[in-house]
Amino acid sequence: MDIDTAGSPIPHSSHWGAFSVVREGDGVRILPHPRDPDPAVMLGNLPAALTARARIAMPMVRRGYLERGPGPDRQRGREDFVPVSWHEALGLAAGELQRVYAHHGGKAVFGGSYGWSSAGRFHHAQSQVHRFLNALGGYVKSVNTYSSAAAAVILPHVIGSQESAGRENVSWHELATQTEMVLAFGGLPLKNTSVSSGGTSQHIARDHLAAAYKRGTKFHLISPIQDDLPLNIEPVWHPIRPGTDVALMLGIAHTLVAEDLHDIAFLERYCVGYPAFEAYLTGRSDGQPKTAAWAAAICQVPVETIQVIARQAAGRRTLITCAQSLQRAEHGEQPVWMGVVLAAMLGQIGLPGGGFVYAMGSLSNVGKPALAVPLPTLPQGQNRVPDLIPVARIADLLLNPGQEYDFNGRRLTYPDIRLVYWAGGNPFHHHQDINRLREAFARPDTIVVHDSAWTATARHADIVFPATVTMERADMGASANDPLLVAMHPVAAPFGQARDDYAIFADLAERLGVGPAFTEGRDAEAWLRHLYEPTRAALLKRGDDAPDFDTFWARGELTLPTLPWDGGVVRAFRNDPDQRKLPTPTGMVEVASATIASYGYDDCPGHPVWLPPAEGVGSPIMREYPLHLISNQPATRLHSQLDFGAASLASKIQGREPVRIHPTDAAARDIANGDIVRLFNHRGACLAGAVVSKAVRPGVVQLATGAWYDPIDPTADSPLCVHGNPNVLTRDAGTSRLAQACTGQLTVVEVERYRGPLPPIRAFDPPDQ
């Protein structure tokens, strides 16, 4: 579709909000959607996407791959690239795909993507790459997400899906109008509510929190970081030691039992397994009562405070929220499960504004009504390869072909991957222990990457295809819990020789003899028109406004109907537990799970327990690395996207990612505000800019994820990252044998003032040619 040059605002959308674009000379200005009461600051990153020095201008091939051909190669990420024509690059990729599928089959191909590269429903890189690989015969897939994989596995055993316990359970409106007390484990950080997959037209969290506060809701923030709830709602801050939320929950639960405040009638009517859990809680099964005093010694929340929280939570409309951050740590299944159990003991599950909600405050559209009509969705086809991995086990997959592992009651085997095809996403942001990931990326025969910019993932590829960014193509933006369908008009011509992912795959598919199966005879515009029709048909059936595609495109947006909020399956179960059972093995809330107990996992037994971490509170390694590092989500970008944008760059200190450190810890290390510091442990080291702040508890440093990996010497095995990527420090291990999920939120480090000459930042410079 043509670029709009009329001079009026051009509609578009992103995962962090709908917006429009005004062209100004060679640049653009971003205007938030007029209905958005609290636009995301990261909209300020978008103008840089069109012309950044980091953009990839033409197809590139690693020099060693051109000279030596396919095969394992430790030179990935260490040597220069050679520009080639599209014809040559496509020929190389097609030839290698043909070889691998012919000799090894689809189980030797890993299809990597993470779905965040665009809010568009058609140019959705994850759907595109999976559709392409399915046309070739299938691929090894990953399941779940780095953000929420532990919860995605544990919740269906206990109360229902993530949707049931999150998006459909308690609404922001209910919190604002009915909740009396919030126990926010991990907080409700407004920075995280800036983002939601598919975008949002209205950021409502700030206003609803303020409304609840004005009505008299009491907020308790349980987090090592003070600004995980906005200060203007005056939350009571309990600066807990990182990773000890389960111990605190158990101490609250024990107080409820000791003072006869738990709802026995609810536990008997709606739950299974409570007697076994109570035996553990009171110490009858293991000799250790989980008293408030026991909990206080672990989490360093005072005994009296734990007891007061329990007493105040009982007998009123109490909401227990569990942030995604809590389950991105060793034994991450436990705080989610224990949060459900605590809400059950209070008898609150299923009540409007009460009970348990997962991930509220972690994404913008959690707690909003669902749409009443289907969204445009590109079909991915059928994957004929059954092999899969939990998403955070990518390095294990590449390094350990043939090795068996446990996952959610199954015994699986890592296949032998010869070709990795990655489009949309940056594992050198998402994944832990980057030095180990570099070793893993050296193992396959070939790595093909589509990217718009020279991320570390592109630098570790063999064949790099330059992809367009969202403002260079036409699409439709929408989310299942936001009522606006946005006509995403193109704003600018593609950078250099960049092409849409769809165009790249269509060309490859034609070369490989599966062109008709992939394209179905449609170009990109024809696909947009085709995908719009099911939504329009549903609107027509309801009697709602249902313009044809051309009218919708000219308008720039369409408001879609939403369903009435009903609290989903959890509310229905509360109202009628006999006829509306939960989607759990027993149909009840599973305080203890016979299914999980049958797996025999010592790192995830049959009911919630406190399990000391291998790295963290009480672990011997903290004698050498005495500080907890929290690597949480950034406030100025989505993951690592557009780290070179204005909003992201404005937060940096001497070009490096900021790290917050408590004044006591800074003074002990002769660190002043604005100093460049070195964070290190036994896995790696990085530089960051110090922010001395009382907003983190003593013994904690906080360094957000997303700074582009920038090794001082790419040829070294464990180089210093000079830019501040915390994943050179984090541990690459699963949460447990149940979920095998990401544990990147917490690790242990030491910090020192950096005293040498400051190395330059080269993260955004193209590699040598």
Catalytic position from the list 65, 116, 172, 280: 116
- Please check whether residue 271 is in contact with residue 344, taking contact to mean a CB–CB distance below 8 angstroms: yes
Are the CB atoms for 170 and 184 separated by under 8 Å?
no
Within 425-500, residue ranges assigned H as helices are 427-430, 434-441, 456-459
Strand partners, 12: 19
Asked whether the beta carbons of 169 and 340 are under 8 A apart, the reply is no
Please name the residues in contact with 222: beta carbons below 8 A apart, sequence gap of 6 or more.
183, 184, 185, 186, 187, 238, 240, 245, 248, 301
> Hey, what are 142's tokens?
């990953």
As a three-state string, the secondary structure of 29-85 is EEEECCCCCCCCHHHHHHHHHHCCCCECCCCEEEHHHHHHCCCCCCCCCCCCEEECC
Catalytic: 101?
no
| Pure H helices in 115-171 | 125-136, 149-158, 162-165
| Paired strand residues for 486 | 477, 557
Measured from the Cβ of residue 513, the count of other Cβ atoms closer than 10 Å reads 12
CA distances from 78 to 96, 317, 540, 706, 713 (A): 22, 57, 56, 21, 9
The yes-or-no answer on residue 114 being catalytic is yes
Integer Cα distance of 495 and 451 in angstroms: 12
Q: How far apart are CA 206 and CA 354, in angstroms?
A: 19
Place of tokens 């397994």: 273
- Cβ-Cβ contacts under 8 Å for 554 (sequence gap 6 or more): none
Residues 303/311, Cβ–Cβ less than 8 Å? no
Q: Which tokens in the block code for residue 256?
A: 């409820």
Q: How far apart are CA 241 and CA 301, in angstroms?
A: 8
Q: For the chain, first and last CA: distance in Å?
A: 34
Q: Please state at what angle helix 292-299 crosses helix 245-258, rounded to 10 degrees.
A: 170
3-state secondary structure of 142: strand
DSSP 228-249: GS-GGG-PEEE-PPTT-HHHHH
Backbone angles phi, psi at 6, to 5 degrees: -75, -15
**3-state SS of the chain: helix, strand, coil percent to 5?**
35, 20, 45
* Helical packing angle, 333-345 and 245-258, nearest 10°: 20
Which is catalytic among the residues 114, 270, 527, 532?
Answer: 114
Residue positions annotated with a catalytic role: 114, 116
